[in-house]
Structure 1
């Protein structure tokens, strides 16, 4: 699977135009709605009872998950060294192909490096702003890359392998697995949970019809409202940084509801939730929920930490509006990830 183009609709034509429309099979694979952590969390709690049937059910769910090739074309000699064998780093890539603001096909909305420490007692999710100005390695066909660009150009120029290379070169962290997401799928996931409670951090009105008003404080959202909330950026005080934060808030709320909302005591609701997630998740060919789920047994939103790569703010490079990383702060943060030092990760967090 080539994967969706990850070009920002606001980006100028420094990147190649969109390719031909995808086939129905590829289009289906691109509607990826939730990352592995959410599915794994619920499945492992179910399996925690020790029932053989639960394990068999997990295996059945895994068979319905699409597998993608993320690493075959990544030059081994150019990859960072794996420092701590049992720690795991998962690259979560999100797009929103149905965003009303999206006029140029699918684009990247979210790039997250999920770090699972060796003891699996917590997880750190570090967002990389999609407009971060980085060096993009040369694509396999040699026609693109090998120059500075927005990090989300990597996918359009070289698919998953080039995105993995760009993130690894930027962070110096070796990526173990990749998961693909389409945030538009939050709608079905949230509805399967009968809604979620989200802490809204500021008053604003959606600039998409029907122009919903979001009021500061705890707000119960169904799937349609949660998706609208996670899409907004233009009217937020801090723009795309605000959208990153709101998407993190939605993820946190989904995890809370999935873990504590009575899902496991309602077989019908649990089945609907699992179908809404597992049928829409894509992971790299080496990832196994059966193997990973037991390791995530104790994860809840309380021991998840959401971070954002330290930056110096936004600016212009030619006609492009970009985000400049702050190397002095980002380097020790990602070095802590490489060394699997949760204490130092949190100490260096923005």
Structure 2
């Protein structure tokens, strides 16, 4: 579910309630002082008719001062702010629950009865994102009827201050366990064969076996459905690596540099791979950039703070996703509301590049580096891994001017 960075401090909503109530205690003190006995020699005390007035020669005036009621007013206003804050929070919670009810749901874990890795760190989350270009929502998650060309392991540390997205090449050559529902598996093959043979459950089994990381949730994303998500944002900005012409009708031309793309254009560009020397790795890179651009636009355009825009955005997202039965968009929104695109780190599962095995072009895993990476994910030590072994920040220049793809 990246751009003007947000404050790292406590959320303004949480800070505002104590701030609104703070005057109350002082107000009570002033009201109490008004009713307390005072001596004639105590100038400036609320409620006394004998207050000294500068310039009157030290004499007390006979006028009775009006007793201020600021204390009670502050108390009422503080309570009102508290009630409004609670109502706003309740309204937001009810709304997100309403959005949750509109999500398509599946149970990818129900067929996995044994052999799953243990949960190691409470609070950390590992979410498997599976994406494809399916146009038929009835076939989502069914073996043999829906291919997934995008597999991303999303790791969110227990402190919820960052997110690491590890793209796993669809041609990664791995062991695929025996499917519990089909006659396939128990062999080495390309990673995306796991989905063709056994749907979401076999894909989860395969990735958990390869990484030894337990998945908490699975999100099946229809990238074709992301057209509506991008259009709901009014388009996104993506940096095109070089001038290319799409291989798909209507064969759009994309100009090198920053392009403002609508939903159809962004998806078309993110699908291209044959025009780039690194092929499928380029496509993974562009898909990552598209996801980051969506988050950037959602934050920078005011979508998250505009109820009408937010409603359209979230409705488009729910139509594009199928989630496990325990996934809650409301919980995710509350826990990770402070994440911004600068808090996302994208990388690719360690590999030795493409080679031929058994006459097929496959991506060969770098087992040593992959083991170190996924150990860091499992034990929630990604910050340490990044410091010693992580990918270097991209040095690719970003164009300042935007051009429209044709």
Cα deviation per residue 1:6-37 (whole Å; 9 max; x = unaligned)?
Answer: xxxxxxxxxxxxxxxxxxxxxxxxxxxxxxx3
What residue is the counterpart of 2:94 in the other structure? 56
Q: Is 2:128 aligned against 1:87? A: no
Distance in 2 (alpha carbons) for counterparts of 1:141 and 1:272: 38
TM-score, normalising length: structure 2: 0.71
Give the Å deviation of 1:267.
Answer: 3.1
Cα root mean square deviation, aligned: 2.2
Cα distance, 1:321–1:148 mapped onto 2, change above 3 Å: same
User: Which has the higher relative contact order, 1 or 2, with Cα contacts under 8 A spaced 6 or more apart?
Assistant: 1
State whether residues 334 and 345 of structure 1, in contact with CA within 8 Å, keep that contact through their aligned partners in structure 2. Answer: no
The CA deviation string for residues 174-204 of structure 1, in whole angstroms up to 9 with x for no partner, is 1111000011112111111011111222332
Check 1:281–1:190 CA distance in 2 against 1; reply closer, same or farther (3 A cut): same
For residue 344 of structure 1, give the secondary structure of its aligned residue in structure 2: helix
Shift of 1:336: 0.6
**Residue in 1 that maps onto 2:377:** 337
Structure 1 residue ranges without an equivalent (≥5)? 1-36, 39-44
How far the C-alpha of 1:120 sits from its partner, in A, is: 0.3
SS for the counterpart of 1:56 is helix
- SS of 1:90 mapped into structure 2: strand
In structure 1, distance between residues paired with 2:309 and 2:256: 30
Choose the corresponding residue for 2:208, options 162, 168, 180: 168
For residue 112 of structure 2, the aligned residue among 74, 77, 83 is: 74
Q: Which residue of 2 aligns with 1:153?
A: 193
Q: CA deviation at 1:270?
A: 2.3
CA distance in 2, matches of 1:258, 1:139: 39
5+ residue gaps, structure 2, are 3-10, 15-84, 137-143, 392-406
Report the counterpart of residue 70 of structure 2 in structure 1.
none
Report the Cα offset of residue 98 of structure 1.
5.0
Question: What does 1:99-248 align with in structure 2 at a 5 Å threshold?
Answer: 106-141=146-181, 143-248=183-288
Q: In the comparison of the two structures, how many residue pairs are matched?
A: 303
Per-residue deviation at 1:55? 1.2
Distance 1:261 1:235, change over 3 A: same
2:385 matched to 1:348? Answer: no
Give secondary structure in 2 for the equivalent of 1:168: helix
Taking a change above 3 Å as real, the CA distance of residues 315 and 230 of structure 1, as seen in their structure-2 partners, is same
Higher Cα radius of gyration: 2
